[in-house]
Structure 1
Amino acid sequence: MIRAYRRDGSAEVIGTEPQTSQFPEDIVWIDLIKPSRDEEQFVESCIGIQLPTPEELKDIEPSSRLYVENEAIYMTASLIYRADSSHPLLTDVAFILYRGRLITIRYAEPKAFALFSANLLRLNGQCDTGAKLLGHLLETVVDRTAEILETVVSRLDSLSITIFVNRKAAKRRPPRFLEDKLLDIASHHQLISKLRDSLVSLSRLVIFLQSQPVVRREEEAAELCIIVARDIQSLGEHTAFVGNNITFMLDASLGLINVEQNAIIKIFSIASVVFLPPTLVASIYGMNFQFMPELGWTIGYPLALVAMLLSAIIPFLFFRWKGWL
């Protein structure tokens, strides 16, 4: 699908067979969403440059993601989408600046694009060039990243309270409670990792964009790039801090699991030690030798029971006195 935006913020969907072979002069943004090959060829014929293929968007080398060719500035960034689901993903989005227009190519729908296109009319014609529009779009992408990070931090705070603070409810926890929480921690770690990858790619893109003459000539676009670069840096630091907290929470949860397992093993160890002396007494007097003087005693059986009981109580009291229970 090809969606074109005018300078006033209005948009329209363009087919591959229009009346003319050129886009109107007031079109400042051409957004290709999951384009077919026919749509790509149509846009190429209208604007006069080659568009990157999906395979080229996946290249990770800086020379393949950030370059200038035939007066067109090609940039590719990895943006996160489906952040609210259990399986967040990264998608590669191409940004192309050419002769005052912005061309974007994407094969997914990050929420930042929907937010930006919805607010485009409110900018009151401020995005009259592709460079300015790209600056505002990147600002929206960074704001959406900050929103996702804030949501993750809030969820981690709730998870931390559930695991560490509410110790009174620990005895009423269902089996494998902490093991299930490890899965939640792992999902948050995966989301944070993808956020860091996205911020790194955005940082490289903004630094490259700031060095381009078309951006330096426009004061507003240059200021937007500076603001976006600062926001990306602060978000990167905060993301690293959150990542360290997740690592601590993971290690602490594993430690709590080991503590609970050790407590269970300790109970079995103490039980075996407590019942070992009575077992020894019962084994001795359970032997059927002919010459055992205690077998002829009238009170032999009660004495054996008392000896078994004392041999169990004395180790128990000793362990309790040592504080091992």
Structure 2
Amino acid sequence: MMKAYRSNGEAIVLSVDQRVDSLPDDVFWLDLNSPTREEDLYAERLTGIDVPTRQDLRDIEPSSRLYSTNGTTYLTGSLICHADSAQPVLADVAFVLTASRLVTVRYDDPRSFTLFAHAAGRLQGELRNPALTLTRLLETITDRTAEILEQAEVKSDSLLVRIFGDGGEGKKRRAAGTLEGLLVEIAHHHRLISKVRDSLVSLARLNSFLGGVPAVQNCSEAHALSSSIGRDIQSLAEHANFISGNLSFMLDASLGLINVEQNAIIKIFSIASVVFLPPTLVASVYGMNFVHMPELQWMMGYPASLLLMVFSAVIPYLFFRWKGWL
């Protein structure tokens, strides 16, 4: 799908079946969302530039992702998508900065593009400079990344409470599999933070390259905004590292608590075996088949041996309670 955004806030949906010969002069942004090959060729005819294809976006060579040629700047960045779902992904997005407008090519739907499209409609002609349009879009992408990190921090706090409890004095034994389930949630959460960190690295490289583009340097507002975005990206990267460190701590803590739970179970079996060891010894002694055993002829021998076994089991139990091992 192809959308052209005009300075008056109007969005025009372009179709290859109803072709126009040229774009209106006040179109400041042409957005290609999952374009077909026919739409790529149509956009090239309208803009006079080479529109990056899906294969071009997958190129990981730095020299192929950020470059300028014939007055046109091509930038490719990796943006976080589907951050609110269980399967966040990185989507490669191409930003093409021409002398008259901004062209974007993407094969996914980052929420920041929808937010910018709504904001652009309210600006009503303030985005006449393509360089300013691009920096405004990058600002929206950065703000959306900050929102994702804020939500991730809230989720991290929730996981921390579920791991260690709410601080109450009463200790409740967790149901079987609770900590194991938390490990899975921590792994999913860590995957999101890893994607965000990769996206921030890509945005930092893109914004650094953009700051040296003449079109941005010649626009004071765009240049100042690009510098501000660079500082924001650096702050967000540090915050993402902090959250990642917390997740590593929670992972280690969960594994430690699982070991504690397992050790508690093993301790119960160990104590039980020690408690029943003396009665077993008594029963073994009187289970031997020797002829000369005086107690065998004693009328009270049987109840006395039972009492001896009970007494020999109670003594270790009381000792363990006194030591605080139970």
- Match of 1:138? 138
- Match of 1:53? 53
Residue type of the alignment partner of 2:321: R
- Match of 1:120? 120
- Match of 1:43? 43
Following TM superposition, the consecutive aligned residue runs of length 4 or more in structure 1 with deviations greater than 6 angstroms are none
- Match of 1:11? 11
Residue type of the alignment partner of 1:81: C
SS at match of 2:255: helix
In 2, the alpha carbon distance for the partners of 1:68 and 1:170 equals 63
- Match of 1:29? 29
Q: 1:177-217 CA deviation, whole Å, 9 max, x = no partner?
A: 11111111111111100000111100000000001111100
Give ranges in structure 1 of 5+ residues lacking alignment. Answer: none
- Match of 2:255? 254
Calculate the TM-score normalised by the size of structure 1. 0.96
Shift of residue 289, structure 1, vs aligned partner: 3.1
- Aligned-residue RMSD, C-alpha: 1.5
- Match of 1:161? 161
Contact 1:28–1:102 under 8 Å retained in 2: yes
Calculate the TM-score normalised by the size of structure 2. 0.96
Shift of residue 20, structure 1, vs aligned partner: 4.0
Equivalent pairs: percent with the same residue? 56
In 2, the alpha carbon distance for the partners of 1:17 and 1:309 equals 93
Q: 1:129-157 CA deviation, whole Å, 9 max, x = no partner?
A: 21111111111111111111111111111
Shift of residue 322, structure 1, vs aligned partner: 2.9
In 1, the alpha carbon distance for the partners of 2:200 and 2:61 equals 16
- Match of 1:219? 220
- Match of 1:312? 313
In 1, the alpha carbon distance for the partners of 2:291 and 2:138 equals 96
Q: 1:92-138 CA deviation, whole Å, 9 max, x = no partner?
A: 00000012211000001111111110111221311112111111111
In 2, the alpha carbon distance for the partners of 1:172 and 1:290 equals 53
Indicate the larger mover: 81-90 or 13-22. 13-22
In 2, the alpha carbon distance for the partners of 1:66 and 1:120 equals 25
Matched, 1:184 2:185: yes
Matched, 1:104 2:104: yes
Contact 1:100–1:131 under 8 Å retained in 2: no
SS at match of 1:154: helix
SS at match of 1:171: coil
SS at match of 2:292: coil
Shift of residue 85, structure 1, vs aligned partner: 0.8
Q: 1:233-255 CA deviation, whole Å, 9 max, x = no partner?
A: 11111110011011101111111
